[in-house]
Copies of this chain bind each other. A is one copy, B any other.
């Protein structure tokens, strides 16, 4: 009985989140804002990937960044870049961002328009996977140091993502990363999504990441027939 009640409350929360996420998605369609939700374990390299992404794209696109953390504003400080509006969302007890937090952050921005909104979710592969934020592209990162079976352990995070990013590829050999095993694990839970291998530190593979973002921005901006 107690368990059922908990499930029911959780179900209502998800319905509410999904309704807000739908409104966000409409809003981002109107403003032709490409929204990317980055998911990963702590330390997989989300913030470094964002740093390099801003470094490369910030002069040429209007970009907003939302960074979720349970505590501290360190990441927002690291990401502060000329011309980019970075906001930290401190989630406190919550282990993930939800659609309502995104909506409130947009309100704080007074509807400022972005070509690209990058969302760094809380470092965690479980709860963030359950919350739709109205994004176009959910990107799950995992680094070559985390173990090739990670996708099998966190199937929802990998299955619900439209792109899988293998990070720290520059140290793959040093840590004995087995690409064939990792790829097989990913494909078992997500047969379709493109897999990018990159190192934000060395720059290897980053061009494919930028190209993906740019293609998706252009495709999203294309004005539909009225």
Contacts and interface: CB of A to CB of B under 8 A. Distances in A.
Interface of A: 30-32, 56-57, 59-62, 83, 111, 113, 115, 207, 210, 214, 217-218, 221-223, 225-226
7 contacts: A31-B60, A56-B226, A83-B111, A83-B113, A214-B221, A214-B223, A218-B221
Contacts of A31: 59-60
Nearest to A63: B113
A83 B33 CA distance: 14
A214 B32 CA distance: 12
A184 to B, nearest CB: 33
A60 B210 contact: no
Identical chains bound together, number? 2
Contacts of A207: 225
Nearest to A214: B222
A31 to B, nearest CB: 6
Contact of A223 (B32, B57, B111, B218): B57
A107 B23 CA distance: 37
Contacts of A30: 59-60
Nearest to A218: B218
B32 A59 contact: yes
A30 B56 CA distance: 11
Given A62-B62, A62-B113, A217 B226 contact: no
A225 B203 CA distance: 12
B62 A223 contact: no
Contacts of A223: 56-57, 60, 210, 214
Nearest to A60: B32
A65 to B, nearest CB: 15
Given A30-B59, A32-B60, A83-B113, A221 B217 contact: yes
